[in-house]
Amino acid sequence: WTGLAGPARAHPHVWIEMTSAVGFDDKGQVTALGIAWTFDEFYSLAAVDGLDKNKDGKYDAGEMKELGTTYLQNLEKFRYFTAIELNGKSAEVTKASNSAAVFQNGRLTFSFRLPLVNPVDPKTTKLSFSSFDPSYYIDIQPSKTNPVRFSSAAPKACGFSMRKNDGPAPPMALNLSESLKQQPPADGIFGMLPVAIYDIRCTAGAVP
């Protein structure tokens, strides 16, 4: 995807606000996660530069489609900067789909759907997930409003809690291209990096 090169600093260079949607089937099982990243204004303007082909001052769906497709293709080999655990063990996912890129109010939002290989019963299994850049070139933080939503098929007892992990700070990448070379660890992810973690449970004691 579009990268902004620059010297390393002791802080991120791209900022993202993330919202998530937990998808359920008609049996009340989790089947997929929907991820949406809203980028900071500076990165957003750089990413859409030159995409207004008809020069009407707007970025319509046709002009943005290729950007969303390119982002999704490039992120596949890096596991979409998203990790999912089931009862503390890494979950299997299939290829992401439904990519979309929208430019609104001066900011770019990129979204995609990440299906699980096997549906998960959240009544008996604790599902945890996080979206992060291992190099910290990109800082991904939860949205301040409605960070996690549930699809209409979700059991009534479903809820989520969010926690911050206090792992060691990762080494800095020189630029976004270098950042993309650093994949999230396959196992033990939440014990290694300082990330925001979402826990999903569908029990009587679940956090609403």
Least confident of 65-74, 127-136, 178-187: 178-187
Which among 116, 128, 87 has a CA at the least distance from the CA of 25?
A: 116
Kindly state the average pLDDT of the residues 15-20: 97
pLDDT digits 0-9 by tens, 128-141: 999 988 878 889 99
Task: Tell me the per-residue pLDDT of 57-66, one tens digit each, with 9 for 90 and over.
Answer: 889 888 899 9
Mean local confidence (pLDDT), 108-127: 96
Q: Tell me how many degrees the CA angle 13-62-21 measures, rounded to the nearest 5.
A: 60
How many angstroms separate the CA atoms of 179 and 55, rounded?
33
> Is the full-model pTM beyond 0.75?
yes
Q: What is the mean pLDDT of the chain?
A: 84
Q: Please, how many CA atoms are within 13 Å of residue 154, restricted to the half-sphere of its CB?
A: 22
Sign of CA dihedral 113, 189, 192, 163: positive
Return the number of other C-beta atoms located less than 10 Å from residue 56's C-beta.
Answer: 9
